[in-house]
């Protein structure tokens, strides 16, 4: 007899409602580890973690009562992440919640059995984390950061806020499938908006700076900052270079706009954490990651920094402001 059928039979004998029986069964302390890769100060990282814990609480999982929630904060450094992964797996967690490929990759290299729920992977199939979006097939599932088509929207948005732009540098990581995919989509729409796109593939800070300086020498130039751990690691330098060279820049992450960037368009990481809690709940109750489909975001958030626009001498189009979910003044 399967586990759920056994519990249901036991419930009928005891005269208890099924929901109460499953709640009592969950009184055993379960362990969920959360890996947070942090780059400097992120005003939204605590909101993301709070969203996860609040959603788990709403599903009946209370830290210290029937759940042991262990949080690991780590810089996006490969050796640091490997160390944290080794430590957390030695504690035999029931589920691990990761972020993007930077933390998910090392986890899945280290374990093929512990369930992993990722919250912001760009290309889980291309990265080899799952077999398909509909049927992941392995020990990981979760939520994509965005659909690749969003990448083209960044270039269209750049042209909309700065119509004179004819050349754009695209900061990306060419060593990952997501970095290749994002640039390919951007390149595919470049001719339709009249912008020549040039990849900037930083191996280090010197490489990044020389690439941005080369773009800045061109008249009517701008930047697009794609999603990658190797790119996010240089977030503060990118912000400084964009300001120094007065380059209109579109980001995928609202954190950059909160720290002085011009505009961002991307998924809501807080929403993905709430959804991740639902998958953690289902896995703790016996479902397998292999059977839970990877989900793409259904909504995206547009954030505008008017102070930065003013400093660049840009007048933000009314159509963009009307669409904005948040405006920093």
**pTM assigned to the model:** 0.84
Beta-carbon contacts of 228 under 8 Å, excluding residues fewer than 6 positions away, are 101, 122, 172, 173, 176, 178, 179
pLDDT higher than threshold 80 for residue 300: yes
Confidence of residue 26 (pLDDT cuts 50, 70, 90): very low
Do 231 and 173 meet the contact criterion of CB atoms below 8 Å apart? Answer: yes
Predicted local distance difference test score (pLDDT) of residue 48:
87
Nearest partner of 169 among 223, 96, 205, 115, judged by Cα: 223
* 249-251 and 95-98 strand pairing: unpaired
Give tens-digit pLDDT for 267-279: 988 899 999 999 9
Angstrom distance (rounded) from CA 201 to CA 135: 33
Task: Give the percent of the chain with pLDDT over 70.
Answer: 90
Angstrom distance (rounded) from CA 248 to CA 263: 9
pLDDT higher than threshold 50 for residue 15: no
Angstrom distance (rounded) from CA 50 to CA 29: 20
Q: How far is CA 206 from CA 78, 222, 238, 282, in A?
A: 20, 19, 12, 46
Long-range CB pairs of 251-256, under 8 A, 24+ apart, other chains included: 251/225, 252/145, 252/146, 252/150, 252/154, 252/225, 252/226, 252/227, 253/225, 253/227, 254/44, 254/301, 254/303, 254/326, 255/42, 255/43, 255/44, 256/225
Complete domains list, the chain, with CATH: 28-146+268-298 (3.40.50.2300), 150-267+301-328 (3.40.50.2300)
pLDDT higher than threshold 60 for residue 9: no
Give tens-digit pLDDT for 128-185: 999 999 999 999 999 999 888 899 999 999 999 999 999 999 999 998 888 999 999 9
Do 243 and 33 meet the contact criterion of CB atoms below 8 Å apart? Answer: no
Beta-carbon contacts of 186 under 8 Å, excluding residues fewer than 6 positions away, are 151, 152, 154, 155, 170, 197, 224, 226
Question: What does the pLDDT average to over 15-38?
Answer: 65
Q: How far is CA 266 from CA 26, 35, 54, 306, 328, in A?
A: 36, 21, 23, 18, 16
């Amino acid at each position: 007899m399967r586990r759920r059928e056994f519990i249901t039979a036991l419930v009928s004998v005891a005269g208890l409602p099924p929901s109460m029986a499953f709640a009592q069964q969950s009184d055993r302390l379960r362990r969920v580890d959360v890996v947070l890769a942090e780059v400097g100060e992120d005003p939204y990282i605590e909101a993301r973690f709070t969203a996860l814990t609040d959603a788990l609480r709403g599903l009946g999982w209370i830290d210290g009562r029937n759940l042991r929630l262990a949080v690991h904060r780590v810089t996006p450094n490969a050796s640091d992440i490997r160390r944290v992964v080794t430590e957390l797996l030695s504690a035999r967690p029931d589920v691990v919640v990761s972020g993007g490929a930077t933390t998910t990759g090392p986890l899945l290299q280290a374990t093929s059995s512990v369930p992993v729920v990722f919250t912001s992977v760009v290309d889980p199939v291309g990265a080899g984390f799952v077999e398909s979006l509909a049927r992941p097939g392995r020990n990981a599932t979760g939520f994509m950061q965005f659909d690749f088509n969003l990448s083209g929207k960044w270039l269209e948005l750049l042209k909309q806020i700065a119509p004179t732009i004819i050349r754009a540098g695209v900061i990306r990581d060419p060593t990952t499938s997501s970095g290749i995919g994002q640039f390919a989509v951007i390149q595919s729409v470049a001719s339709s908006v009249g912008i020549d796109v040039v990849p900037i593939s930083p191996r280090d800070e010197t490489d990044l700076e020389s690439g941005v300086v080369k773009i800045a020498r061109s008249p009517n130039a701008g930047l697009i900052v794609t999603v990658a751990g190797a790119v996010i690691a240089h977030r503060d330098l990118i912000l400084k270079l964009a300001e120094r060279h007065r380059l209109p820049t579109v980001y995928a992450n609202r954190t950059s706009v909160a720290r002085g960037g011009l505009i961002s368009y991307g998924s809501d990481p807080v929403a993905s954490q709430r959804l991740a809690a639902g998958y953690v709940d289902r896995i703790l109750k016996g479902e397998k990651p292999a059977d839970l489909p990877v989900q793409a975001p259904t909504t995206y958030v547009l954030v505008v920094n008017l102070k930065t626009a003013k400093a660049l001498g840009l007048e933000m189009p009314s159509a963009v402001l009307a669409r904005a979910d948040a405006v920093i003044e």
